[in-house]
Amino acid sequence: MCVYAFGTAAKFVNRIRNNVAIFCSQISPRDIENVILRHPGVADATAVGVADSVVNGNGQLIKAVVVLKPGYDDVTSNQLLIYANRN
């Protein structure tokens, strides 16, 4: 759940659900965030579950929003995905 005041950034305040259902498994978005945050180019990250009926039946996929550190503007989402899968 986010709070947004006009003219400011959205602020993440709480999760509606603590786990995301992916292929009959329950995964904590916080676990995904912790992996992404270990990347040297990541300043902040949050992960959420989004509904997915195409790839994952009636489950969800995880989407992450990432803030990069200064000087790491060349880090791509593909690089972060590879990093997360290896860690």
Q: Which residues contact 85 (CB under 8 A, 6 or more apart)?
A: none
Q: What is the pLDDT of residue 23?
A: 65
* pLDDT for the residue numbered 39: 97
The residue range of the domain holding 41 is: 18-86
Q: Is residue 7 part of a domain?
A: no
Quick check: is 10 in a domain?
A: no
Whole-number pLDDT of residue 68:
95
Q: Does residue 82 belong to any structural domain of this protein?
A: yes
71 in a structural domain: yes
Stretches where the chain sits below pLDDT 70 are 1-24, 53-59
CATH of the domain at 50: 3.30.300.30
Using DSSP, state whether 81 is helix, strand or coil. Answer: helix
Q: Cα dihedral angle (34, 41, 39, 32), rounded to 10 degrees? A: 30
pLDDT of residue 78: 95
Number of domains in the chain: 1
2 within domain boundaries: no
Asked if the structure places residue 65 within a domain, the reply is yes
